[in-house]
Amino acid sequence: MSSADFMELLRLINGFQISQAIHVAATVGVADHLRDGPRTSEELASLTGTDAGALYRLLRALAAVGVFEEHDQRRFSLTPLGDCLRSDSETPAGPWASFIGRPYYWQSWGHLLHSVRTGENAFQDLNGETVWQYRQQHPEEGGIFDRAMAGNSRGAVEALIHAYDFSPFGHVADIGGGHGQTLAGILAAHPATRATLFDQLHVISKAQATLEKENLADRCHFIAGSFFDAVPAGADAYILRMIIHDWEDQEAIAILKNCRRAMAANAKLLLIEQVVGPPGEGAIIKFSDLNMMVSPGGARANARRICRPLRAIRLRAHTHHSSRPAHERGRSDSAMTPTAA
């Protein structure tokens, strides 16, 4: 091994330091205070309620990896990377950075060795409950997670609309629709389409706010419930975006069965999932798969594995692959049409 190889491996080993440092910068809101130009670490400390000396050391380290730029007299400004931490960024990474450093999430990754040795979920072994149950009991953590998911969905919604033609559908239902970004994008692109957003009660108000902001709420019906119980009937297309991978086959089949019961004979079910790429490619998705093992359960998989639960509910799969930049590739949009019962 050369010294360059050693240093590159060391950089990977110490990656946790960078992610935690970005988490802290995002949590205290540094980027928002740099929106209008450079500030000193002392000014930023006053604005963020932090210690000036400690904040300088944090920003200096992050400047060394390109998140901020350091100037003379301990002044800092945003780089293109750091700009993504702004709360009003068009490509917001701040909510995700705020989420990944939360103690319960951080501790689960620290328990990865248990998962590798046993095949068991790290979070459940540590806490005696699923991460979904934990967030229900800790709504502040649920809110942080919801904002992270909403932030990550912005670019994906544009890719979905380009990848799949929603114009034939007069009524689209988003099952587990979160804060409503997906439906907002679809409704904006197709003015004649109506929608139903289905999610848990505590999420619905956020979704209403999203669609009201875009003047689209009058074309959307908001329904609270659990997709393990039932889903609303009457739509021409049902969307499950980034849902199925979070669950083992038994739970995935239960969700899909409820969708199947709600669907008319000519309705479609759209599974939007990230699929694992070939060997040596797609690191983001493959590490996301490790995250499934550590925290929510389920798994990232290839298209064949994602479609496996469909056999239990008699749906026929047609796969559509979106066109995405090279660093984002791996998302597959699959439209499922019912076969005869």
Q: Which residues are catalytic?
A: 245
Q: Which two tokens stand for residue 334?
A: 């699959």
C-alpha dihedral (150, 252, 166, 304), degrees to nearest 10: 110
The DSSP 8-state label assigned to residue 160 in this structure reads H
The H or E element that residue 105 is part of is: helix 103-109
Rounded CA separation 152/94 (Å): 10
Determine the 3-state secondary structure of 316 from DSSP.
strand
For residue 258, how many other CB atoms are within 10 A of its CB?
20
Q: What are 268's strand-pairing partners?
A: 237
Q: What is the per-residue burial (b if ≥16 Cβ within 10 Å, else e) of 66-105?
A: ebbbbeeebbbebbebbbbbbeebeebbbbbbbbbbbeeb
Q: Which two tokens stand for residue 247?
A: 């669950």
Rounded CA separation 174/269 (Å): 10
The 8 Å CB, 24+ separation contacts for 153-159 are 153/178, 153/179, 153/181, 153/182, 153/241, 154/90, 154/91, 154/92, 154/181, 155/91, 155/328, 156/241, 156/272, 156/331, 157/181, 157/182, 157/184, 157/185, 158/185, 159/322, 159/323, 159/324, 159/328, 159/331
Rounded CA separation 52/214 (Å): 40
